[in-house]
Amino acid sequence: MVIITNALSAQEKIAFKVSFSEPQAHYAEVEMEISGLKEDYIDLKMPVWTPGSYLVREFAKNVEGFKVSGPSGSLLSFNKLNKNTWRIQTSKNSTIKVNYRVYSFEISVRTSFVDESHAFLSPAGLFLYPAGKLMLPSTVTIIPHKSWSKISTGLEKVAGKENTYSASDFDILFDSPIEVGNQDIFEFTAAGVKHEVAMYGGGSYDKEVLKRDMAKIVHEQTKIFGVNPNKRYVFIVHNFNSGGGGLEHLNSTVLGASRNGYSTEAGLLRFLGLVSHEYFHLWNVKRLRPIALGPFNYDEENYTNNLWIAEGFTAYYQDVFTKRAGLQSSDQFVANLATVITSVENQPGNKIQSLNDASFDAWIKQYRPNENSANSTISYYSKGSLVALIMDLEIIHSTQGKAGLDEVMKAMYDEYYVKKKRGYTDKEFKEMAEKIAGHSLSNIYDDYVYGLKAIDYNKYFNYAGFTLSDDAMQSNEPYLGIATSLREGKMIITQVGRGSGAWNDGLNVNDEIISIDNYIISKTKTGFAEMLKYVAGKQVGEKVKVAVIRDGQEKVIEVSLSRNPGVRYKISPIENSSAAQMTVRERWLK
């Protein structure tokens, strides 16, 4: 027999209360009660970022009205040590109350938002934690505004306590967003898991269609891992006039959607694709994860070279699963791949930044884009999805259809999440993929992950009896190389394409276009199309004079028109494909 002393009494207990006395002014009020204190002071911190979104967001900037009191109500002193740390003098009190307000007015899946209609609480930007004690459990009591009646969250309910939830540690708390309001809630069960869908903002969705289609996605994804680790899962969906994006969590997700997008076939598929993407993350990145992504350091950037696996593979699989679930056809799936390849190959940055570097620098590049991003970076989502594609085809080909990328994902999940209970290194992922392929994959890594070589798509498509061709190959279209937008009645250059005439001859972003060869460009929505039409009437190698206003002064810049380097890919089946090719195709498009 073991005598268990009350271990919990040796540590602090933390209880949060969140209320909303001024939702119309976008505030959430937080009370944090800490008991069991023994030290003379305690440092409380707020994360600077939220996992899944690789940008330092400085959540502490939204905190105001900070005060601390003892049990008698007397105020205790505190001072800030740095931007996100408060040091509180306990004055020998074992219980203290910390009160503060958080301004919440940024609409996104990773920031809190409060107004009279609802509160979306993104916990990393709301709750403080005691420095060095992320392992402590806590409870959260939500006091909804009087006009609200519902709470949706992946946090576990505390039995017998109204609107109170528990988190076993701060990683769980920070990973569990909370929706409070009058959301439309419906449920479905799939793969033995109870799923709750909380719809904010209304919309043209048909609940029965969503229940049926979302269940199919859950079912298909669970099949490859053989296990769905959750008992309950919550989809928080924010419907806006125009919305998108999602953020993954362990047992929930937050999705942005367009209120009326559900009415069209394409819009519905877009939503289901997002569902598929975020749901797949519950395995890929939330559990099977790069070693740098957990335990998290909430104080600074957490660098990883593997977002092309965490996000790129998820981007590939989001469409694989809508296809397997019968929500889109194989033809649609293949046609969409041609679109992704076209967009990656048309981005000049694809020849400048490797996938590996795109991942590492996500914090300063992917999440901080500027006017030159297309020239200098590549997305680890889209390019990563193409590396997933060729790795899948390579493995299916070399195993004669016995294995594919599914087997790599499952083996990695079993080995690193279930067995070793830690993240994987770059080398470990590669080794597992090679073990399943039965041969080295160094060429894929050296050329397309670490290197900048153009992907030899046809090598891989050929395995499955397909061929990729460029519809624009014969084109000799003259090309200026700029993008513009109409701002306050002015036609402004917003992008200059690397290597184009505009790039070589010095048109600049922010130049206001006045005329081309003395032909005045109308400052209307059709103005830029008129300009492109004029350029299309010229020949490659000809020069045009573009008059612009730069910093208040007119300049005339002579631009040599080069050939439009744009590609426009399509993927077609090869007639009379061999039996070996058909084996790969059938497995790939199963």
Q: Write out the residues near Zn ion by the rule CB under 5 A.
A: 311, 314
Least distance (Å) between residue 488 CB and Zn ion:
36
Cβ(52)–Cβ(298) below 8 Å: no
CB of 310 to Zn ion, least distance (A): 7
Nearest residue (CB) to Zn ion, 314 versus 354? 314
123 preceded by a cis bond (ω within 30 of 0): no
CA distance 482 to 109: 32
Query: Taking Cα atoms as reference points, which of 46, 47, 51 lies closest to residue 363?
Result: 51
**Hey, which residues does 199 pair with through a beta bridge?**
184, 237
Nearer to Zn ion, 251 or 462 (CB): 251
CB of 254 to Zn ion, least distance (A): 12
Q: In angstroms, what is the minimal distance from the CB of 311 to Zn ion?
A: 5
Residue 318 Cβ, how far from Zn ion at the closest point, in Å?
Answer: 8
Least distance between Zn ion and beta carbon 280 (Å): 8
Spatial CA neighbour of 565 closest among 496, 476, 493, 505: 476
The Cβ-side half-sphere exposure at 585, using a 13 Å CA radius, reads: 19
Both tokens of 147, joined, read 């006009």
SS3 content of the chain, % helix, strand, coil (to 5): 30, 30, 40
Q: Kindly tell me which of 108 and 399 has the beta carbon lying closer to Zn ion.
A: 108
Q: Could you tell me the smallest distance in angstroms from the CB atom of residue 367 to Zn ion?
A: 13
* 63: nearest Cα among 91, 108, 32, 29: 29
Edge to edge, what strands does the sheet with 193-200 contain?
184-190, 193-200, 232-240, 252-258, 246-248
Q: Which is nearer to Zn ion, 14 or 214 (CB)?
A: 214
Is 30 in contact with 16 (CB distance < 8 Å)?
yes
Residue 253 or 342: the one with the smaller Cβ distance to Zn ion is 253
Q: How far apart are CA 410 and CA 291, in angstroms?
A: 17
Query: Residue 284 or residue 581: which is nearer to Zn ion going by CB?
Result: 284
Q: Which is nearer to Zn ion, 111 or 314 (CB)?
A: 314
CB of 456 to Zn ion, least distance (A): 27
Cα distance between residue 41 and residue 91, in whole Å:
8
Other beta carbons less than 10 A from residue 383's beta carbon: 28
CA 9 to chain centre: 40
The minimum distance between CB 540 and Zn ion, in angstroms, equals 40
**Category of 110 on φ-ψ map: left (φ > 0), alpha (ψ -120 to 50) or beta:** alpha
Question: Of 196 and 311, which has the nearer Cβ to Zn ion?
Answer: 311
Closer residue to Zn ion in complex, CB, 109/437? 109
